[in-house]
Amino acid sequence: MEATPLKTVALHETHQQLGAKIVPFAGYAMPVRYSSDLEEHHTVRRGVGIFDVSHMGEFRLRGPQALDLIQRTTSNDASKLAPGKAQYSCLPNAAGGIVD
């Protein structure tokens, strides 16, 4: 049985060019680190860190109640979207946090 090839994120080539160590994660080839854990920890504490979460979820909704559903469950105004377009958003929980 052949293994399913790993998917890649849009920034995959950039991650590779920047020297990221790439590992399998949830079906994707994802960067796990660039230098050392300690160096990255200090960088985030003293400056800024960015985490690529583009592999985390995508919804494709269709039908007459699709817009109503997405408007009730996400944080952005999806009525501004044209067909076939995308929008970053999140799923707020009842306590005002974000479903992860």
More confident residue, 39 or 1: 39
- Over range 70-79, report the average pLDDT: 92
Give the integer Cα–Cα distance in Å for 62 and 73: 15
Q: Residue 100 above 80 pLDDT?
A: no
pTM above 0.85?
no
Query: Left (φ > 0), alpha (ψ -120 to 50) or beta: where does 6 sit?
Result: beta
Q: Say if residue 98 is in the same domain as residue 63.
A: yes
Average pLDDT, the chain: 88
Could you report the per-residue pLDDT of 26-73, keeping only the tens digit for each? 899 999 988 888 998 999 899 988 888 778 777 788 899 999 999 999
Domain total in the chain: 2
- Over range 11-27, report the average pLDDT: 93
- Other Cβ atoms less than 10 A from the Cβ of 20: the count is 19
Neighbouring-strand partners of residue 87: none
> What's the distance, CA 63 to chain centroid?
25
Domain of 77: which CATH number? 3.30.70.1400
Domain encompassing residue 83: 58-100
